[in-house]
Amino acid sequence: MIIGLDVGGTTIDTVAIENGKVVAFKKFERGRSLINSVLESLNQFVSKEMISNLERITLSTTVTTNAIVQNNLDKVGMIIENGIGANPEFLMCGDMNFFADGYINNRGIEAKPVNIESVKNALQSFKREGIEILGIVGKFSVRNPKHELAIYEAAKEYNFKFISVGYKLSGKLNFPRRVFSTYLNCAVYSTFNMFYKSILTFSQERKIPLEKIFIQKPDGGIVNLQDIENFPIFSILSGPAASAQGGFVLSNFAKNAIVIDIGGTTTDIAFLSDGNLVLEPYGAKIGKYPTLVRAIYSRSVGLGAESIVKIVDDTIKIGPETKRWHEQDKNEFATLHDVLQFSSSHPGSPVNARLKSLSSQLNMSQEDFCKLVISRAVAMIEEKMKEGIEYINNLPIYTINKLLYGEKFAPQKIILIGGPAQLLKPHLENELKIKVEVPKHYMVANAIGCAIGSISKEYNLVADTIQGKMVIPELNIYQSIPADFTIDQAKKVLIEKVLEYSEAKNKEDVEIVDEHSFNMIRSFKFCGRMIRIKAQLKPKFLNLRD
């Protein structure tokens, strides 16, 4: 038995899956306290029988995302070694920030040692100001974390409650994103910890071992609750990932498609290219911060079944406000859901009366008015779809082969999920002239996507034979290699290390997605190789296409 729980803007959706079949599902109203709502939904949904043959529970939660959006954050001190490049002022995201002197260059070679004495002074002043949480980030630290680690060692004496080092969050290059990711990882510490503890209590009360409780990550992967304690940031933005994944596994196989999840508040759009969900090239944007948190690329429109349709200055406006925030004057407006249901509503119903009042303001028949609203809504979705397609087709290409023979992304169909999917389907099909598929269980597809989440990870190996060093930042591997190290050896090592260190069970689960070997020439002589390899775990989904 696998249980999935997805926290949406309006509801909390739960689902139980057994032997590849959905055996139970339920939607719960989302209450004021998010953590309490999650716990209540879990308590109500999870029965004794479910626990007796439980494989895992996966939670997709918005607690950390909410904390960021609502600025409910911890005070953080940041030690930033910015080195050479842009003026670093824009990186001052912490409540106190200190720019350390020192520089690791693009090959991971120490160009200037870090000044630990001045760092110690900064740490003291952080403590004096009551800062208990510390972030440490250096430029090019993923190529060589020496300076971050030296600062970490120095910081240990000061008894911070929580310390996060940048290089552990991602193997990708992008210093500003590393700074912001580290900051956010620190800033949501208390919120996540509260959530963590309440789930802990739940697991103890219901006698569910903690190893069976997982959190959905924004890249569609899942991670055990215990493993995420030091990386709360990986619990953000799991909603769009869950829906993208849900749409993907429920649909009939497609190589290139668009997954659209229309919910109560928003519509999330994800992209399936060459059989894989497209990921953000660097990572998710959280609040105002671009980060290195691996995430499914998705576009979002403030448009859902509960979006308010009103007339402003003689023009139709749809969303982003929803009915929930207008409970008191329900008769003044219609929702998108009302409009979508128009053809089946009774002439004398209150819905009809509201539509009549709106359409008469524009001197239109109700029918024409509804048609216009729907085509506006479809256009809003289409705009974001187009943006996404264009974005994917413009991602940088670095080789002639890919430029000449790489395929352009062109979707074959739309996979439409979410509450109003059936109502929207004919309109999308008519207006966009594309096949639209609404899979079975479209109502709780995101909870299913959350339940079946597979482990998804990326690994970057950089080997430099002049230095005799190899790094795989994602596995925290920094080790020596011989001068005659080759790309074939590197590929073998990477696959072996992934098997040794992580969740892959056999070689076939690890896929090399990018490989380069550059001859390094100094003074016209060959003197070594720079090897770059990227691998990923192939996502493995439960077969759920009944």
Partner 1 sequence: MLKAKNSLGLILFPAFDWRISPTHPEREERLLYTIDQIEEEGLFDYENIKIYNPEMIESKYIEMTHFCIPAISSIVTVSHKIAAGSAITIAKKVLSKEVEKGFALIRPPGHHAHRITYGDKGFCIINNEAIMVEYLRKEYKIKKIAIIDTDCHHGDGTQDIFWNDKDVLFISLHQDGTTLYPGTGFTDEIGGPSAIGYTLNLPLPPYTSDEGFLYCLDNLIIPVLEEFKPDIIINSAGQDNHYSDPLTNMNFSAQGYAKLTEKLSPNISVLEGGYSIESALPYVNLGIIFALAGIDYSNIKEPDYNPEKLKQSQRITDYIKRLCEHVYSIWKSKEESEYKIKMANQDYYVRKKSIYYDTMGFRENQLEKIKICKKCSGLILIDSLCLGYRVLAIVIPHDACNDCENEGHKLFENTEVGDYSHILLQDKKSFELFRKTS
Q: Please classify residue 187 by burial: count the beta carbons closer than 10 Å to its beta carbon, then call 0-12 exposed, 13-18 middle and 19+ buried.
A: buried
Specify the residue, 177 or 384, whose C-beta has the smaller distance to partner 1. 177
Q: Which of 175, 189, 231, 234 binds partner 1 (CB under 8 A)?
A: 175
Query: Residues with Cβ < 8 Å from 528, sequence gap 6 or more?
Result: 464, 465, 466, 483, 520
Shortest Å distance, C-beta 90 to partner 1: 7
Q: Which is nearer to partner 1, 297 or 342 (CB)?
A: 297
- Among the listed residues 394, 480, 506, 543, the single contact to partner 1 using CB under 8 A: 394
* Residue 453 CA neighbour count, 13 Å, CB half: 37
Is the CB of residue 271 less than 8 Å from the CB of residue 411?
A: yes
Angle between helix axes 366-393 and 350-361 (nearest 10 degrees) is 80
Of 9, 88, 287, 302, the one binding partner 1 (CB under 8 A) is 88
- Centre a 10 Å sphere on the Cβ of residue 357 and count the other Cβ atoms it contains: 15
171 touches partner 1 (CB under 8 A):
no
In the DSSP assignment, the letter for residue 296 is B
From 41-49, 63-71, 155-163, 282-290, span contacting partner 1 (CB under 8 A): 282-290
Pick from 51, 56, 92, 105 the residue near partner 1 by CB under 8 A.
105
- How many whole angstroms separate alpha carbon 144 and alpha carbon 141? 5
Nearer to partner 1, 45 or 459 (CB): 459
Binding span for partner 1 by CB under 8 A among 107-115, 149-157, 159-167, 260-268: 107-115
Using CB under 8 A as the binding rule, whether residue 467 contacts partner 1 is answered as no
Residues 496-525 that bind partner 1 (CB under 8 A): 516, 518-521, 523-525
Least gap, CB of 112 to partner 1 (angstroms):
7
Site residues for partner 1, window 400-429 (CB under 8 A)? 400-401, 403-404
Applying CB under 8 A, the span of 44-52, 101-109, 157-165, 372-380 interacting with partner 1 comes to 101-109
Query: Pseudo-torsion of CA 264, 56, 235, 146, nearest 10°?
Result: -160
185 or 243: CB nearest partner 1: 185
CB of 3 to partner 1, least distance (A): 38
| Least distance (Å) between residue 10 CB and partner 1 | 29
One-letter amino acid of 519: N
Nearer to partner 1, 103 or 442 (CB): 103
**Does 86 participate in binding partner 1 (rule CB under 8 A)?**
yes
Rounded CA gap, 40 and 159, in Å? 36
What's the closest the beta carbon of residue 108 comes to partner 1, in angstroms? 10
Instruction: Work out how close the CB of 439 gets to partner 1 at its nearest, in angstroms, rounded to a whole number.
Output: 34
Of 46-54, 81-89, 182-190, 359-367, the window that binds partner 1 (rule: CB under 8 A) is 81-89
Which CB sits closer to partner 1, 109 or 542? 109
Which strands form 133-138's sheet, in the order they lie side by side? Answer: 96-99, 76-81, 133-138, 162-165
Pick from 135, 137, 144, 136: nearest CA to 104:
144
CA-CA distance, 406 to 398, in Å (whole number)? Answer: 11
Give the chain's end-to-end CA distance (angstroms, integer).
16
Q: Is the dihedral of CA 303, 306, 312, 315 positive or negative?
A: positive
Sign of the torsion angle spanned by Cα atoms 80, 182, 107, 114: positive
Of 253 and 524, CB closest to partner 1? 524
Residue 115 interacts with partner 1 (CB under 8 A): yes or no? no
HEC string of 43-110 equals HHHCCHHHHHCCCEEEEECCHHHHHHHCCCCCCEEEEEECCCCCCHHHHCCCCEEEECCCEECCCCCE
| Residue whose CB is less far from partner 1, 173 or 494 | 173
* Count, residues near partner 1 per rule CB under 8 A: 45
Residue in 363, 396, 410, 543 binding partner 1, rule: CB under 8 A = 396
CB of 529 to partner 1, least distance (A): 9
Q: Does 356 bind partner 1 (CB under 8 A)?
A: no
Q: How many alpha carbons fall within 13 Å on the CB side of residue 300?
A: 18
Write the interaction track for partner 1 spanning residues 130-169; mark x where CB under 8 A is met and - where it is not.
Answer: ---------xx-----------------------------
Q: What is the residue whose two structure tokens read 């020496």? A: 146
Structure tokens at 279: 């990921």
Q: Which of 103, 189, 192, 333 binds partner 1 (CB under 8 A)?
A: 103
Query: By C-alpha distance, which of 267, 322, 321, 319 is closest to 298?
Result: 267
Assess 90 for contact with partner 1 (CB under 8 A).
yes
Q: How far is the CB of 470 from partner 1 (least distance, A)?
A: 16
Q: Is 530 near partner 1 (CB under 8 A)?
A: yes
Closest CA to 296 of 255, 257, 240: 240
Contacting residues toward partner 1, per CB under 8 A: 82, 84-88, 90, 103, 105-107, 111-112, 139-140, 172-177, 281-282, 285, 288, 290, 394, 396-401, 403-404, 516, 518-521, 523-526, 530
